[in-house]
């Protein structure tokens, strides 16, 4: 009887595991099927590297959006990664345990705040601040980067913190016994040992930043143009799809699916780079 | 393991039963999809109509004029709402009626000193040839142009009426009348356009060629930025649906639209 239960459980779990994989595959196939023929029709080069987007008159250049997506994502990482990693180090190495047990779940709660709330804060507080102090329309690369940087904090902090927490205490003790200061033991021993986990946290955060849509639409300004300053407004790939999906028909709709294909590929490339970076360094450990 | 499976099954079964029981006696369902500019008015009218006719339930959804026409064609909704200067070719297969007319207002931040613009100036600002407020009698500051997304009914009507411009590449894009309003209210140097019924005290309408978006100037044809609100539907809509459409053209409904800032259909 028990054996039977095991078999059933195994079967059910296998099906569930494969359904996740299958849905991923289905999504990929669907997006490519809808978007790829369009790219061939327009010309892959024209689609990727022309800078005029005006689907009503048949101009489908998404180059500014690719650039903008990358700018905003890296901007978010510039803000979110150092803050998040520093926060994780502080929590694990310098904060008394009981306090950490309160603070960590609190930070993880941040992940549960809907992105539209972040966007709203950005529109109401951050954008006017940028407009009065730095100029430009306020809705900008900078606003989007800051908002996304804060949004990815829980991802960076909780995964980095788990990685740092998993470093055996004997490592720290060894470093301290050799006469290292607290900080030396942290950055020369603990961080080195936890490196792959920390890189993983940044990769996941990057995926989140690149894919975020709602908050970005609200604070980025959505102008299709290559930004020349951090106060310039931009439109990201995700924002383009979400903004125009409801009104798009025919070729314009296919163009949005093709935008999805590009987004898919960009994410794959980023992940591949990050993974290989992780492998290259992790090997030395 | 087994008991968990049984529990999960019984819970989902119970949920299904509750959900299906909740529907009770069938109510006739009418769905209107389309223009975000007309959506709030349609919601008000639907509320009134449902209060008097509990046997129908009316759902109003936004999504844009193009989606409205598409949904009516595909049958996803009985009625599509589209606020366009003229209906596109694909809508020829549908019946249509004009439920109201809607003025498009050019709006500024209340802090802006500019009170009036000419159609020529509006064209220049949105086309990108006029870039500074001092060129149109305002302060020396760059103009922040705010527009709707490509494909929006309000945007295509606006661009058609002011005369075939290509929107400046510097324009900020917002995806609804509401967010246009918020952005203009937040930025002292912004200019945007939106449906007349959605103007509030946080933003300031300007006159175009000396005429404000008020009923008499619209009716006399002197205020140019006006577009009709179409309802499109298939030839064989249900009796309940055509009764609702009739109600929309009744004196009572037209009066309600009028007090909320739209122009009557006739």
pLDDT in tens, B52-67: 888 889 999 888 888 8
User: What contacts A53, CB < 8 A, 6 or more positions away?
Assistant: A59, A60, A61, A62, A64, A65, A224, A240, B150
**Alpha helices for chain B (secondary structure H):** 2-22, 39-52, 65-74, 119-127, 153-162, 177-186, 215-219, 239-249, 251-259
**Which two three-digit tokens encode residue B71?**
């949904």
Rounded CA separation B113/B2 (Å): 74
Using the predicted structure, report yes or no on whether residue A280 has a pLDDT greater than 80: no
**Alpha helices for chain A (secondary structure H):** 2-42, 44-49, 63-89, 97-110, 115-121, 127-134, 141-151, 153-165, 169-177, 182-185, 191-193, 195-211, 214-220, 237-244, 250-282
Residue A75 lies in a domain: yes
Q: CA of A253: how far to CAs of A219, A280, B85, B167, in Å? A: 24, 41, 22, 20
Enumerate the residues of chain B whose CB falls inside 8 A of the CB of residue A221: 172-173
Q: What is the mean pLDDT of residues A122-146?
A: 91
Residue A22 lies in a domain: no
Comparing CB atoms, the residue among B63, B173, B175 nearest residue A223 is B173
CA distance A221 to chain B (A): 5
CB contacts < 8 A (A, B): 78
Residue in chain B lying closest to A140 (CA): B172
Backbone phi, psi, residue B149, to 5°: -75, 160
Residue A190 lies in a domain: yes
Classified as helix, coil or strand, B223 is: coil
pTM equals: 0.79
pLDDT at B223: 86
DSSP state of A188: I
Rounded CA separation A150/A148 (Å): 5
Enumerate the residues of chain A whose CB falls inside 8 A of the CB of residue B144: 137
Using the predicted structure, report yes or no on whether residue A209 has a pLDDT greater than 90: yes
Classified as helix, coil or strand, B8 is: helix
Residue A100 lies in a domain: yes
- Give one DSSP letter per residue of B76-94, joined into a string: SSSEEEEE-SS--GGGGGS
Enumerate the residues of chain A whose CB falls inside 8 A of the CB of residue B187: 128, 131, 137-138
Comparing CB atoms, the residue among B70, B172, B186 nearest residue A249 is B70
Query: Could B150 and A252 be called an inter-chain contact, meaning their C-beta atoms sit closer than 8 Å?
Result: yes
Q: How many CB atoms lie within 10 A of CB A232?
A: 21
Residue A14 lies in a domain: no
Residue A30 lies in a domain: no
Q: What is the mean pLDDT of residues A204-217?
A: 92
Tell me how far the alpha carbon of residue A127 is from its chain's centroid: 21
pLDDT at A214: 92
pLDDT at A281: 53
Q: What is the ipTM of this complex?
A: 0.76
Enumerate the residues of chain A whose CB falls inside 8 A of the CB of residue B68: none
Query: Could B149 and A244 be called an inter-chain contact, meaning their C-beta atoms sit closer than 8 Å?
Result: yes
Residue A25 lies in a domain: no
Cβ atoms of residues B227 and B161 within 8 Å? yes
Query: Could A222 and B174 be called an inter-chain contact, meaning their C-beta atoms sit closer than 8 Å?
Result: yes
Classified as helix, coil or strand, A100 is: helix
- Cα-Cα-Cα-Cα torsion A209, A213, A215, A220, nearest 10 degrees, comes to 90
Number of domains in chain A: 1
Query: Could B173 and A124 be called an inter-chain contact, meaning their C-beta atoms sit closer than 8 Å?
Result: no
pLDDT at B17: 45
Domain assignment of residue A80, given as a range: 48-282
Residue A12 lies in a domain: no
| Domain harbouring A83, CATH code | 1.10.3720.10
Residue with tokens 């730095």: A134
Length of chain B in residues, anyone?
A: 266
Query: Could A139 and B183 be called an inter-chain contact, meaning their C-beta atoms sit closer than 8 Å?
Result: yes
Q: What is the pLDDT along chain B (266 residues), one digit of tens a residue?
A: 444 444 554 555 444 444 444 444 567 889 999 888 888 889 999 998 999 888 889 999 888 888 888 889 888 899 999 988 888 888 888 888 899 888 899 999 999 988 889 988 999 999 988 989 999 888 899 999 999 988 788 888 898 888 867 888 889 999 888 889 989 998 889 999 998 878 888 999 999 888 888 878 887 778 888 888 999 999 888 888 889 999 999 988 888 888 887 888 76
Q: Which domains does chain B have, with CATH numbers?
A: 26-101+228-264 (3.40.190.10), 103-219 (3.40.190.10)
């Amino acid at each position: 009887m028990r054996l039977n239960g095991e078999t059933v459980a195994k079967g059910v779990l296998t099906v569930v595991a494969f359904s996740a994989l299958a849905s991923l595959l289905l999504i990929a196939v669907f997006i490519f099927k809808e978007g790829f023929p369009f790219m061939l029709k327009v010309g892959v080069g024209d689609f990727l590297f022309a800078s005029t987007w005006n689907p009503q008159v048949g101009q489908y250049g998404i180059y500014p959006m690719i650039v903008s997506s990358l700018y905003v994502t890296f901007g978010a990482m510039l803000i979110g990664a150092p803050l998040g990693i520093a926060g994780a180090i502080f929590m694990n190495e310098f904060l008394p345990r009981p306090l950490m047990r309160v603070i960590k779940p609190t930070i993880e709660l941040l992940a549960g705040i809907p992105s539209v709330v972040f966007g709203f804060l950005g529109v109401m507080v951050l954008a006017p601040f940028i407009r009065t102090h730095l100029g430009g329309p306020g809705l900008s690369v900078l606003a989007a980067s800051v908002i996304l940087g804060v949004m990815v904090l829980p991802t960076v902090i909780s995964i980095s913190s788990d990685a740092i927490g998993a470093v055996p205490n004997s490592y720290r003790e060894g470093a301290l016994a050799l006469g290292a200061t607290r900080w030396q033991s942290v950055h020369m021993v603990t961080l080195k040992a936890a490196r792959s986990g920390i890189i993983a946290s940044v990769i996941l955060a990057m995926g989140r930043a690149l894919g975020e849509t709602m908050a970005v639409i609200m604070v980025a300004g959505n102008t299709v143009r290559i930004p020349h300053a951090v106060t310039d407004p931009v439109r990201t790939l995700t924002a383009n799809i979400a903004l125009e999906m409801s009104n798009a028909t025919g070729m314009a709709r296919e163009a949005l699916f093709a935008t999805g294909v590009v987004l898919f590929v960009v994410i794959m490339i980023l992940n591949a780079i990050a993974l290989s970076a992780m492998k290259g360094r992790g090997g030395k450990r | 393991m087994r008991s968990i499976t049984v529990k999960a099954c019984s819970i989902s079964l119970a949920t299904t039963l509750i959900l299906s029981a909740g529907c009770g006696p069938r109510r006739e369902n009418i769905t209107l999809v389309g223009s975000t500019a007309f959506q709030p008015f349609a919601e008000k009218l639907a509320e009134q109509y449902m209060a008097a006719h509990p046997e129908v339930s009316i759902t109003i959804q936004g999504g844009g004029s193009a989606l409205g026409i598409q949904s009516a064609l595909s049958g996803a909704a009985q009625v599509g709402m589209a606020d366009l200067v003229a209906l596109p070719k694909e809508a020829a297969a549908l019946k249509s009626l004009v439920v109201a007319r809607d003025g498009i207002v050019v709006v500024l931040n209340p802090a802006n000193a500019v009170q009036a613009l000419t159609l020529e100036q509006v064209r220049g600002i949105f086309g990108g040839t006029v870039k500074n407020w001092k060129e149109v009698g305002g302060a020396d500051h760059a103009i922040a142009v705010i527009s709707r997304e490509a494909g929006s009914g309000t945007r295509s009507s606006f661009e058609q009426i002011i005369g075939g411009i290509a929107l400046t590449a510097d324009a900020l894009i917002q995806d609804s009348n509401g967010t246009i309003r918020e952005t203009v209210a937040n930025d002292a140097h912004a200019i945007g356009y939106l449906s007349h019924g959605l103007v509030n005290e946080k933003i300031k309408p300007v006159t175009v060629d000396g005429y404000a978006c008020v009923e008499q100037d619209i009716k006399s044809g002197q205020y140019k930025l006006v577009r009709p609100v179409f309802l499109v539907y298939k030839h064989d809509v249900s009796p309940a649906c055509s009764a609702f459409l009739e109600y929309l053209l009744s004196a009572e409904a037209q009066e309600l639209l009028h007090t909320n800032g739209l122009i009557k259909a006739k």
